[in-house]
Amino acid sequence: MYESILKTNGATLNQFTVPYPYMYQLSLRSDSQNAFGYAGYVGFACCFMPCAIVSFIVLERIENLRHMQLISGMQLPAYWISNMIADMIKLYIPIVIIILISILFDSNYEGVWVLYMLLPPALVPFTYCTSFLFSKDSSAQIITLFMNYFVCCVMSILVYVLQFIPDTF
């Protein structure tokens, strides 16, 4: 009715809506949820990498392969350095693939590639040190998998939850 009165007098009624501004905190929460999912998927994938390393080291110790190589004249530092280099190369192959897939699907977070490149020099010596705790390769694989799963995935949940605690300092 009011619209017809306005039209007879030559006036028009224009209406428009303005949505509420997108809150900055909501956008940060959305970004952190995406990063949390990304960290969970990639962390779960990276948990399987040290399992192959630990089983090989434990099997070598069980079958005394290192001892046979030392008897035939191989130096102990050469043995460990060559194994370390070979295991790091084995880890860099899937890491480069993860970086390429992240770039391809536009889920590349700034500076994460540095963490990926630092993962093998940290993970291989840690895996070597923990391999001395086991006497069977199957138990070494399972416990290494769960230990790395806890560190990679469960700790990312902790970081995600701690982001929402207000900073009081």
Task: Report pLDDT digits (tens) over 43-72.
Answer: 888 888 898 899 989 998 889 888 888 888
The mean of the pLDDT values for the chain is 82
Token code pair at residue 115: 């963490």
Mind listing the pLDDT tens digit for each residue in 113-149? 888 899 999 999 999 999 999 999 899 999 999 998 8
What is the value of pTM for the model shown?
0.71
Residues 157, 43: contact at Cβ < 8 Å? Answer: no
- pLDDT score at 19: 63
Give the CA distances from residue 65 to residues 70, 74, 132, 141, in Å, rounded to whole numbers and listed in that order: 9, 12, 15, 19
Q: Which residue has the tokens 């960290």?
A: 39
Contacts 24+ apart (CB under 8 A), 21-28: none
Residue 93 has pLDDT above 90, yes or no: yes
At residue 143, the pLDDT reads 94
| Section 27-48 average pLDDT | 75
Q: How far apart are CA 41 and CA 4, in angstroms?
A: 60
Residue 23, token pair as written in the block: 């809150």
